[in-house]
Chain A
Amino acid sequence: MNRSLRPLVATAAIFLLAYMVAVAQFPAMASTRVLGNFLTDNAFLGIAAVGMTFVILSGGIDLSVGAVIGFTTVLIAVLVMWAGLHPLLAFAIALIVAALFGAGMGAAIYYLRVPSFIVTLAGMFLARGAASVLSPDSIGIKHSFYTTVSKSYLLMPGGGRLSVVGIMMLLVFLAGIVIAHRTRFGSYVYALGGSETSAALMGVPVARTTILIYTLSSTLAGLAGVVFSLYTSAGYSLNALGVELDAIAAVVIGGTLLTGGYGLVAGTFIGVMLQGLVQTYIVFDGTLSSWWTKIVIGALLFMFILLQRLLHSAAPRRRKRLWTA
Chain B
Amino acid sequence: MTAQDAEALLEARGIVKIFGQHRALDDVSFALRAGEVHALLGENGAGKSTLIKILTGAYRPDGGEVRLQGAPVSFRDPLHAQSHGIGTVYQEVNLLPNRSVAENLFLGHQPTRWGLVRRKEIEARARNILVTYGLDIDVREELSSFSVAVQQIVAIARAVELSGKVLVLDEPTASLDRNEVDRLFDVIRSLKARGLGIIFITHFLDQVFALADRVTILRNGRKIATHALTEVNTTDVVRMMLGKDVAFDHHLTGLAGATHGAPCVRFAGLGRKGSVAPFTLDVHEGEVVGVAGLLGSGRTEMARLMFGIDLADSGQITVDGKPATIRNPAQAVAAGFGFCPEDRKLDGIFGELSVRENIIIALQAKLGWFRALNREDQIDLAGRYADALDIRAANHDMPVKLLSGGNQQKVILARWLAIDPSFLILDEPTRGIDVGAHAEIVRTINRLREEGLGLFVISSELDEVVAYSNRVVVMRDRQMVAELTGADVAPDRIVQAIAGTPVLPVSAVAEVAP
The chain A residues found within 8 Å of chain B, CB to CB, are 2-4, 178, 182-184, 186-188, 190-191, 193-195, 197-199, 201-204, 261-262, 317-320, 322-325
Contacts and interface: CB of A to CB of B under 8 A. Distances in A.
A187 B134 contact: no
A3 B142 contact: yes
Contacts of B141: 2, 320
Interface string B421-442: 0000000000000000000000
A187 B98 CA distance: 11
Interface in B270-325: none
Given A320-B137, A322-B150, A203 B94 contact: no
Among A190, A193, A202, find the residue whose CB has the most chain B CB atoms closer than 10 A: A202
Given A319-B146, A320-B146, A183 B94 contact: no
B59 to A, nearest CB: 15
28 contacts: A2-B140, A2-B142, A3-B142, A4-B98, A178-B116, A182-B117, A183-B112, A183-B116, A183-B117, A184-B108, A184-B110, A186-B117, A191-B99, A191-B107, A193-B98, A198-B96, A202-B94, A203-B108, A204-B107, A204-B108, A319-B146, A319-B147, A320-B150, A322-B180, A322-B183, A323-B183, A324-B134, A324-B135
Interface in B100-142: 103-104, 107-110, 112, 115-117, 119, 134-137, 140-142
A198 B110 contact: no
A324 B130 CA distance: 12
Contacts of A204: 107-108
Nearest to A182: B116
Contacts of A178: 116
A261 B103 CA distance: 13
B173 interface: no
Contacts of B94: 195, 197-198, 201-202
A187 B103 contact: yes
Interface in B171-214: 179-180, 183
A202 B108 contact: yes
A204 to B, nearest CB: 6
Given A3-B142, A320-B145, A320-B150, A325 B134 contact: yes
Contact of A190 (B82, B99, B134, B137): B99
A3 B97 CA distance: 12
Given A202-B107, A204-B108, 16 more contacts: A2-B142, A187-B103, A190-B98, A195-B94, A195-B96, A197-B94, A202-B95, A202-B96, A202-B104, A262-B98, A318-B145, A320-B145, A320-B150, A322-B147, A322-B150, A323-B135
A323 B128 CA distance: 16
Contact of B99 (A187, A320, A324): A187
A3 B98 CA distance: 9
A195 B97 contact: yes
A323 B134 contact: yes
B99 A317 contact: no
A150 B183 CA distance: 67
Given A262-B98, A323-B183, A187 B150 contact: no
B144 interface: yes
A197 B97 CA distance: 12
A101 B117 CA distance: 29
Contacts of B145: 3, 317-320
B78 interface: yes
B359 interface: no
A190 B117 contact: no
A183 B115 contact: yes
Nearest to B78: A201
A182 B140 CA distance: 14
Nearest to B108: A203
B149 interface: yes
Given A178-B116, A187-B103, A199 B96 contact: yes
Given A202-B107, A319-B145, A194 B98 contact: yes
The 7 A-B pairs of least Cβ separation, nearest first, read A194-B96, A261-B98, A194-B98, A324-B136, A203-B108, A198-B94, A182-B116
A318 B145 CA distance: 6
A141 to B, nearest CB: 36
Interface string B77-90: 01100100000000
